[in-house]
């Protein structure tokens, strides 16, 4: 299997090709935990303005008001009229404003200076350097030797611009985005089953369901606002089923908690379907009228008896029977899933098996009946529609489809044959860098040395680049490898739309200007394009002008925004796509009346068999490691590790371990432990909890270097979606001494340990 | 419409600390959080419980204050200690049955939750009850709670022999009319739980 390394774990010492040592870089650029708002805590008084906008973190995109004084964001106020969250916010939302006016904020472009670190340069010098290196590398090695990595926390306008920039100005096939680490398994499964990649229902359907299945979603920590929707469902008499190797806060109140073994989810789903067929809880009328492929699924799950399924899932058989009894006969139901079942080398199959439970009962496309994936990133939904994926053009179109290429070539006014073909997805792209096939890179909104699996390998890849330009607002751990750093913008320093977890397009409003000499991201990209000779294709004066082009580019596509304008989005507090005409109200609920988006108008059943994960525990590495998030941090932590209040809440990663396993290993609460896989290790504190399976340990992934959970994770990917297998690899755990290397002695926000 | 009231539903709490973070953003005590989020016993469970001031009808904290520094507003909100009067004796800290007042050594004064008086007195909701993602903290009408919640809201407590009525309500199952708490002798080590309902290892052992 791809990603399998021989059993010689690399050392923790990172021999980095950096201009100066990491502790010196940290001194200059952080991350530093910043605790005090502009003017200090005492400084209160009248605001100059309050800007109704949205949180920059997570796919729920909660409404929030930012308080502005003297062109600085000084605080927040709940926005109670915004329908999705009604003023509710998680701690990340409450403290998000503290990323403005931060001492680490990059305020000018910089270049790497050997032995000194990074020094400010003019935009003229920075852009000239970037463009000359693009030209040099592409002339020497070909266009595809220069790659572009982007992100799903960018607005729709920026995501669209990134895809166009890669294809029209860089003319490279190799663009991909960090949604590859996040949403692609859910997207691929949804497309296979329904022909559309979007949550099928608005969140208002959740409280109306009589049973909700939450599979692999730590809702309380990763999508906290959704908790109230689940609790309201329970107040209305609905039942909650939760699948997770850990008892997360929502699992405490579940009517049925199934502590599934990571990677064993198909055992539960196929086992439930087996019981439902036996007991007659299948909607054969719906299946006959609106679907294809049922017979193969029914045939496949024949062998998934509760006992057979229980061995796969690692739970007692009666839990699977009880789940089927709760789910099968319910009048209404809702499936919610997230990274817990998606981050697998069989992530697409896991999602399909979950979706099948909704389809087989015909409980989709009506009030209180449906299915949704819980989008992780800020614009996790919109970011995967506008053409910044390696295989995609705007409007969720395919880059290998002749008609799609022709339409987009028309919008861009370029010859169809000038648009590159499908390029490499994120992990493969980094492998191509490691192998020396890709020589140059620009990245924005992506911190791969923390967020990609097998972090030691990823850091090595960055050491080998001939040229690397990074666009960011803070100097992330990855930006340290850059030759040129371009100071970009925070969400509140620009405007533009995002598409939330429900498929609803909303508008972020500008609160303040970028500080110092920093520039808005879209301007930086357009300036590079102009210097490459494509100024006429990137002659935008505002994000709104980009949106006007995006609307047209999406027209007739699956994710059709043509009928949206910024005014309409504001008036309606957001619009659900598809919205194909200006007088169209948008589409909150998909698949009403059993109409699906495949050419035959039907939903497609896909039979899935369970298969083992890429690396199963064995005698040498006998424990399962699973990774994930905590409530006060977001993704690679480059923002939240800089916000004092959020860092204080969870300062450093711990290794959650069951007391039974800990006792076997001679570990007590608070001990330093070495968690080690074939690829690398971390030294962190042990936290003994009975709320995790005794065969599994958990380490959250928001920290860098010696504290990076991704030192251990495996570079195995799903064959269809190419999502990495973050949720399971094999490790051993042992008690150890407090580490004393330079990184360990840094502050916790920079990768130190206490 | 009837008056707005504060409701706590401990069973809904997910321990996210949004309330703690948001409380510190309130203009009247910016930078200092007045709400307590109790982590019950993380080793055994993920259970957590938020604690705001319950605003007792006859506040014990005020009764035991030798300096008469704790005042109740006409609408029943028990305020933080008055700075010129508070002598930092901590009588209130040890007497409160809910563990709410805390003595802050750096300012030599007791501070506690005042139900965001700067907000609630002008018709806004308290900060914590506005942001709480789980609805564990809610500021709404009794009618709305009765319409949307399965449990009932009560505000009667009994601590040993002491009966207490509070302005803040808690959600409990319908069979309960008053929260009765027997006084327990504090032992040097906590008594083990009679059962271990959240131990995943026990769940996995086939029944």
pLDDT-derived band at B28 (thresholds 50, 70, 90) equals: confident
Q: Which of residues 241-270 of A touch B (CB under 8 A)?
A: 246-253, 257, 259
Q: Does one domain contain both A452 and A321?
A: no
Q: Where are the beta strands (DSSP E) in B112-191?
A: 137-141, 152-159, 162-172, 179-181
pLDDT above 80 for B184: no
Q: Does one domain contain both A67 and A163?
A: no
- Using a CB–CB cutoff of 8 Å, tell me whether A306 touches chain B: no
Handedness of CA B75, B79, B82, B87 (dihedral sign): positive
Domain boundary among A373, A404, A423: A373
Domain assignment present for residue A34? The answer is no
Contact state of A88 with B132 under an 8 Å Cβ cutoff: yes
**According to the model, what pLDDT value does residue B206 have?**
66
Q: Which residues of A touch B201 (CB under 8 A)?
A: 658, 660, 690, 693-694
pLDDT above 60 for B1: no
Q: Which of residues 90-109 of A touch B (CB under 8 A)?
A: 90-91, 93-95
Contact state of A220 with B14 under an 8 Å Cβ cutoff: yes
Best of B4, B18, B152 to disrupt the A interface (most A CBs within 10 Å) is B18
Q: What is the mean pLDDT of residues B151-155?
A: 96
Of A36, A42, A95, nearest to B21 by CB-CB distance is: A95
- Using a CB–CB cutoff of 8 Å, tell me whether B22 touches chain A: yes
pLDDT-derived band at A475 (thresholds 50, 70, 90) equals: very high
A478-494 pLDDT, tens digit per residue, is 999 999 999 999 999 99
In whole angstroms, give the CA distance from residue A309 to residue A610.
Answer: 9
- Domain containing residue A452: CATH number: 3.40.50.740
Q: What is the mean pLDDT of residues A688-695?
A: 98
Domain assignment present for residue A124? The answer is yes
**According to the model, what pLDDT value does residue B161 have?**
87
Taking CA atoms, B19 is separated from A66, A609, B37, B50, B130, in Å, by 18, 44, 8, 8, 9
Q: Which residues of A touch B22 (CB under 8 A)?
A: 89, 94
Domain assignment present for residue A368? The answer is yes
Q: Does one domain contain both A412 and A431?
A: yes
In whole angstroms, give the CA distance from residue A353 to residue A216.
Answer: 13
Taking CA atoms, B5 is separated from A249, A618, A630, B17, B73, in Å, by 26, 57, 32, 22, 15
Q: How far is A243 from chain B (nearest CA, A)?
A: 12
Domain assignment present for residue A13? The answer is no
pLDDT above 80 for A44: no
**Nearest C-alpha neighbor of A22 from the set A590, A741, A721:** A741
pLDDT above 70 for B207: no
* A·B CB contacts under 8 A: 145
Q: Which residues of A touch B129 (CB under 8 A)?
A: none
Contact state of B200 with A252 under an 8 Å Cβ cutoff: no
In whole angstroms, give the CA distance from residue A502 to residue A223.
Answer: 13
* A91, B16 Cβ separation under 8 angstroms: yes
Domain assignment present for residue A146? The answer is yes
My answer on whether omega of the bond before A745 falls inside 30° of 0, hence cis, is: no
Q: What percent of chain A has pLDDT over 90?
A: 96
Q: Does one domain contain both A390 and A539?
A: yes
Contact state of B14 with A221 under an 8 Å Cβ cutoff: yes
Q: Does one domain contain both A435 and A578?
A: yes
A718-734 pLDDT, tens digit per residue, is 999 999 999 999 999 99
- Domain containing residue A632: CATH number: 2.40.40.20
Contact state of B22 with A89 under an 8 Å Cβ cutoff: yes
Of A76, A246, A691, nearest to B25 by CB-CB distance is: A76
Domain assignment present for residue A294? The answer is yes
Domain boundary among A332, A353, A373: A373
Neighbouring C-beta atoms of residue A565, cutoff 10 Å: 15
Domain assignment present for residue A407? The answer is yes
Q: Does one domain contain both A572 and A448?
A: yes
Q: Does one domain contain both A646 and A716?
A: yes
Q: Does one domain contain both A83 and A137?
A: no
**According to the model, what pLDDT value does residue A40 have?**
87
Interface predicted TM-score (ipTM) of this complex, two decimals? 0.95
Q: What is the 3-state secondary structure (H, E, C) of A573-639?
A: CCEECCCCCCCCCCCCCCCHHHCCCCCCCCEECCCCCCCCCCCCCCCCCCEEEEEECCCCCCCCCCC
Q: Which of residues 157-176 of B touch A (CB under 8 A)?
A: none
Q: What is the mean pLDDT of residues B110-115?
A: 94
Q: What is the mean pLDDT of residues A519-539?
A: 98
Q: How far is B11 from chain A (nearest CA, A)?
A: 8
Contact state of B45 with A259 under an 8 Å Cβ cutoff: no
pLDDT-derived band at A39 (thresholds 50, 70, 90) equals: confident
Of A90, A234, A253, nearest to B16 by CB-CB distance is: A90
- Domain containing residue A82: CATH number: 3.30.200.210
Collapsed DSSP state (helix, strand, coil) of residue A425: coil
Contact state of B148 with A235 under an 8 Å Cβ cutoff: yes
In whole angstroms, give the CA distance from residue A267 to residue A305.
Answer: 9
- Domain containing residue A355: CATH number: 3.40.228.10
Q: What percent of chain B has pLDDT over 70?
A: 93
**According to the model, what pLDDT value does residue B27 have?**
83
- Return mean pLDDT, chain A: 96
Q: Give the chain A residue whose CA is nearest to the CA of B198.
A: A691
A547-592 pLDDT, tens digit per residue, is 999 999 999 999 999 999 999 999 999 999 999 999 999 999 999 9
Contact state of A94 with B131 under an 8 Å Cβ cutoff: yes
* A663, A726 Cβ separation under 8 angstroms: no
Of B16, B20, B205, nearest to A220 by CB-CB distance is: B16
Domain count, chain A: 4
Q: Does one domain contain both A350 and A418?
A: no
A123-151 pLDDT, tens digit per residue, is 999 999 999 999 999 999 999 999 999 99
Domain assignment present for residue A154? The answer is yes
**According to the model, what pLDDT value does residue A6 have?**
40
pLDDT above 60 for A7: no
Q: Which residues of B touch A78 (CB under 8 A)?
A: 127, 130-131
pLDDT-derived band at B196 (thresholds 50, 70, 90) equals: confident
pLDDT-derived band at B29 (thresholds 50, 70, 90) equals: confident
- Using a CB–CB cutoff of 8 Å, tell me whether B76 touches chain A: no
**Nearest C-alpha neighbor of A265 from the set A243, A232, A250:** A243
- Using a CB–CB cutoff of 8 Å, tell me whether B43 touches chain A: yes
pLDDT-derived band at B183 (thresholds 50, 70, 90) equals: confident
Q: Which residues of A touch B128 (CB under 8 A)?
A: none
Contact state of A221 with B130 under an 8 Å Cβ cutoff: no
pLDDT-derived band at B153 (thresholds 50, 70, 90) equals: very high
**According to the model, what pLDDT value does residue A498 have?**
98
Q: What is the mean pLDDT of residues B165-180?
A: 94
Domain boundary among A584, A601, A625: A584
pLDDT above 90 for A514: yes
Q: What is the mean pLDDT of residues A447-466?
A: 97
pLDDT-derived band at A686 (thresholds 50, 70, 90) equals: very high
Q: What percent of chain A has pLDDT over 70?
A: 98
Q: What is the mean pLDDT of residues A91-111?
A: 97
Domain that includes residue A85, residue range: 49-99
pLDDT above 60 for A3: no
Q: Does one domain contain both A425 and A515?
A: yes
**According to the model, what pLDDT value does residue B190 have?**
63
* A647, A748 Cβ separation under 8 angstroms: yes
Q: Does one domain contain both A639 and A534?
A: no
Q: Give the chain B residue whose CA is nearest to the CA of A221.
A: B16
Neighbouring C-beta atoms of residue B161, cutoff 10 Å: 6
Q: What is the mean pLDDT of residues B183-195?
A: 67
- Using a CB–CB cutoff of 8 Å, tell me whether A704 touches chain B: no
Report the residue count for chain B: 207
Q: How far is A114 from chain B (nearest CA, A)?
A: 41
**According to the model, what pLDDT value does residue B26 have?**
87
pLDDT above 90 for A57: yes
* A713, A729 Cβ separation under 8 angstroms: yes
In whole angstroms, give the CA distance from residue A722 to residue A702.
Answer: 21
- Using a CB–CB cutoff of 8 Å, tell me whether A669 touches chain B: yes
pLDDT-derived band at A8 (thresholds 50, 70, 90) equals: very low
Q: Give the chain B residue whose CA is nearest to the CA of A207.
A: B148
**According to the model, what pLDDT value does residue A736 have?**
98
**According to the model, what pLDDT value does residue A200 have?**
98
Q: Does one domain contain both A178 and A189?
A: no
Contact state of A252 with B201 under an 8 Å Cβ cutoff: no
Q: What is the mean pLDDT of residues A500-510?
A: 98
Phi, psi of A246 (to 5 degrees): -120, 145
């Amino acid at each position: 299997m791809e990603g399998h390394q021989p059993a010689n774990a690399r050392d923790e010492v990172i021999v980095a090709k950096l201009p100066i040592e990491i502790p010196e870089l940290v001194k200059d650029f952080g991350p530093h935990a910043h605790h005090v708002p502009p003017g200090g805590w005492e400084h209160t008084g009248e605001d100059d303005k309050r800007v109704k906008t949205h949180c920059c973190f997570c796919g729920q995109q909660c409404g929030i008001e930012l308080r502005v004084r003297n062109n600085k964001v000084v605080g927040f106020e709940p926005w109670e009229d915004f329908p999705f969250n009604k003023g509710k916010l998680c701690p990340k939302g409450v403290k998000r404003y503290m990323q403005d006016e931060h001492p680490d904020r990059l305020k000018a472009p910089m270049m790497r200076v050997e032995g000194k670190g990074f020094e400010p340069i003019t935009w003229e010098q920075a852009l000239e350097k970037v463009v000359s290196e693009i030209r040099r590398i592409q002339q020497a090695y070909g266009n595809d030797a220069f790659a572009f990595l982007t992100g799903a926390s960018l607005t729709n306008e920026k995501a669209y611009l990134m895809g166009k920039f890669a294809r029209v100005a860089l003319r490279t096939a190799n663009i991909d985005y960090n949604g590859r680490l996040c949403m692609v398994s859910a997207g691929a499964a949804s497309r296979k089953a329904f022909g559309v990649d979007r949550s099928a229902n608005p969140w208002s359907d959740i409280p109306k369901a009589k049973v909700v299945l939450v599979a692999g979603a730590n809702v309380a920590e990763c999508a906290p606002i959704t908790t109230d929707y689940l609790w309201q469902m329970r107040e209305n008499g609905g039942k909650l089923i939760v699948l997770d190797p850990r008892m997360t806060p929502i699992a405490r109140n579940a009517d049925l908690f199934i502590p599934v073994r990571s990677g064993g989810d198909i055992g539960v789903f196929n086992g439930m379907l087996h019981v439902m067929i036996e007991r007659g809880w299948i909607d054969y009328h719906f299946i006959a009228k609106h679907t294809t492929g049922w017979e193969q699924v029914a045939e496949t799950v024949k062998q998934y008896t509760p006992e057979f399924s229980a061995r796969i899932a690692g739970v007692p058989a009666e839990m699977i029977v009880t789940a089927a009894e709760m789910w099968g006969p319910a009048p209404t139901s809702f499936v919610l899933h997230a990274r817990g079942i998606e981050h697998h080398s069989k992530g697409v199959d896991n999602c399909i098996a979950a979706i099948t439970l909704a389809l087989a009962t015909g409980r989709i496309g009506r009030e209180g009946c449906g299915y949704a994936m819980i989008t992780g990133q800020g614009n996790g939904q919109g970011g995967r529609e506008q053409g910044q994926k390696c295989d995609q053009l705007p409007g969720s179109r395919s880059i290998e489809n002749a008609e799609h290429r022709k339409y987009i070539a028309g919008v861009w006014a370029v010859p169809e044959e000038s648009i590159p073909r499908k390029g490499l997805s994120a992990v493969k792209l980094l492998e191509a860098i490691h192998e020396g096939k890709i020589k140059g890179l620009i990245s924005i909104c992506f911190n791969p040395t923390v967020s990609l699996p097998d972090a030691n390998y990823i850091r090595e890849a960055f050491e080998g680049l001939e040229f690397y330009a990074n666009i960011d607002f803070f100097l992330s751990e990855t930006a340290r490898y850059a030759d040129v750093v371009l100071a970009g913008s925070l969400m509140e320093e620009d405007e533009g739309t995002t598409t939330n977890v429900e498929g609803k397009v909303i508008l972020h409003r500008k609160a303040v200007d970028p500080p110092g000499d920093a520039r808005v991201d879209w301007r930086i990209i357009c300036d590079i394009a102009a210097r490459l000779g494509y100024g006429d294709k990137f002659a935008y004066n505002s994000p709104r002008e980009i949106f006007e082009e995006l609307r047209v580019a999406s027209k007739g596509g699956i994710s059709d925004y043509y009928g949206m304008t910024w005014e309409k989005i504001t008036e309606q507090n957001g619009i659900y796509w598809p919205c194909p005409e200006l007088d169209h109200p948008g589409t909150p609920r998909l698949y009403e009346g059993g109409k699906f988006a495949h050419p035959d108008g039907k939903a497609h059943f896909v039979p899935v068999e369970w298969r083992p994960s890429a690396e199963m525990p064995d005698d040498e590495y006998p424990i399962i490691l699973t990774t994930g998030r905590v409530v006060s941090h977001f993704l690679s932590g480059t923002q939240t590790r800089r916000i004092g209040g959020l860092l204080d809440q969870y300062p450093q990663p711990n290794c959650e371990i069951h007391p039974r396993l800990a006792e076997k290993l001679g570990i007590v609460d608070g001990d330093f432990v070495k968690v080690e896989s074939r690829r690398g290790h971390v030294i962190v504190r042990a936290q003994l909890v009975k709320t995790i399976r005794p065969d599994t340990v958990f380490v959250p992934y928001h920290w860098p270097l010696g504290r990076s959970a991704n030192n251990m994770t495996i570079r195995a990917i799903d064959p269809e979606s190419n999502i990495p297998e973050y949720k399971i690899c094999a490790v051993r755990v042992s008690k150890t001494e407090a580490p004393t290397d330079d990184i360990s002695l840094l502050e916790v926000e920079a990768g130190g340990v206490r | 419409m009837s008056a707005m009231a504060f409701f706590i539903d401990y069973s809904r709490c997910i321990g996210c600390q949004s309330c703690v973070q948001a409380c510190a953003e309130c203009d009247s005590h910016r930078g200092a959080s007045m709400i307590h989020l109790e982590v019950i016993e993380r080793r055994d469970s993920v259970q957590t419980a938020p604690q705001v001031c319950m605003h007792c009808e006859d506040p014990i904290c005020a009764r035991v204050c030798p300096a008469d520094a704790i005042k109740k507003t006409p609408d029943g909100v028990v305020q933080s200690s008055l700075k010129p009067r508070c002598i930092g004796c901590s009588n209130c800290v040890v007497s409160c049955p809910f563990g709410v007042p805390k003595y802050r050594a750096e300012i030599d004064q007791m501070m506690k939750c005042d139900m965001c008086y700067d907000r609630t007195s002008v018709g806004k909701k308290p900060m914590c009850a506005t942001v709480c993602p789980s609805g564990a903290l809610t500021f709404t009408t009794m009618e709305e709670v009765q319409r949307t919640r399965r449990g009932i809201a009560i505000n009667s407590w009994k601590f040993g022999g002491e009966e207490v009525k509070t302005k803040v309500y808690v959600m409990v199952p319908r069979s309960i009319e008053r929260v009765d708490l027997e006084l327990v002798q504090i032992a040097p080590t906590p008594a083990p739980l009679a059962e271990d309902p959240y131990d995943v290892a026990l769940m996995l052992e086939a029944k």
